[in-house]
Amino acid sequence: MDAVDRRILAELQRDAALTNTDLAERVGLSPTPCWRRVKQLEASGLLRRRVALLDASALGLGTTVFVAVRTQHHTAEWLDRFAQAVSAFDEVTEFYRLSGEIDYLLKVVVPDIAAYDAFYKRLVAAVELSDVSSSFAMEEIKYTTELPLG
């Protein structure tokens, strides 16, 4: 990946709806070489997909909850069951396995606390957990999907 590829990725992170012609102009290429580079970035897996970012509050999904999960189970079988169960919940927008005191962290987006409570009940019924701790986001101070490209 060279500097031109980085510029292409930076521009697409800001606006994935750019036409190839506009993208090529912004990165200093003609359209055909730009298109080829984008295709190479896709084929290499660096450019995984292009998506639209939605406004959660405007969609009535104004409550973000960070859910810390601890478990006493650390077998591959349990993890597979847990990962499948959590991945099936549409409310879970991010899901991480962590080092340290917390085993897993989920980012959950729901309309309100009652919807979170319903989610919580489905979560604890799906698989055995030792501890579930929920923290409600009071304010979103920074949110970006753009990765630092140096």
Whether residue 68 sits in one domain with residue 32: no
Whether residue 108 sits in one domain with residue 81: yes
The answer to whether residue 54 is domain-embedded is: no
Whether residue 93 sits in one domain with residue 35: no
The answer to whether residue 51 is domain-embedded is: no
Per-residue confidence (pLDDT) for residue 113, from 0 to 100: 97
Whether residue 124 sits in one domain with residue 74: yes
Whether residue 76 sits in one domain with residue 39: no
- The domain of 22 spans 3-44
Closest CA to 123 of 65, 77, 74: 65
Amino acid at 66: F
- Assess whether pLDDT exceeds 90 at residue 43: yes
Digit-coded pLDDT (tens) for 102-131:
999 999 999 999 999 999 999 999 999 999
**Mean pLDDT, range 11-29, rounded to an integer:** 97
Whether residue 81 sits in one domain with residue 30: no
Over pLDDT 70: what percentage of the chain? 100
- Average pLDDT of the residues of the chain: 96
Digit-coded pLDDT (tens) for 53-94:
999 999 999 999 999 999 999 999 999 999 999 999 999 999
pLDDT band (50, 70, 90) for residue 150: confident
The answer to whether residue 142 is domain-embedded is: no
Per-residue confidence (pLDDT) for residue 85, from 0 to 100: 96
The answer to whether residue 148 is domain-embedded is: no
The total of structural domains in the chain comes to 2
The answer to whether residue 115 is domain-embedded is: yes
CATH number at 126 reads 3.30.70.920
CATH number at 12 reads 1.10.10.10
Whether residue 127 sits in one domain with residue 71: yes
The answer to whether residue 111 is domain-embedded is: yes
The answer to whether residue 55 is domain-embedded is: no
- Assess whether pLDDT exceeds 90 at residue 100: yes
Q: Cβ-count burial of 140 within 10 angstroms (0-12 exposed, 13-18 middle, 19+ buried)? A: exposed
Whether residue 131 sits in one domain with residue 75: yes
pTM over 0.75: yes
Per-residue confidence (pLDDT) for residue 143, from 0 to 100: 95
Q: Cβ-count burial of 62 within 10 angstroms (0-12 exposed, 13-18 middle, 19+ buried)? A: middle
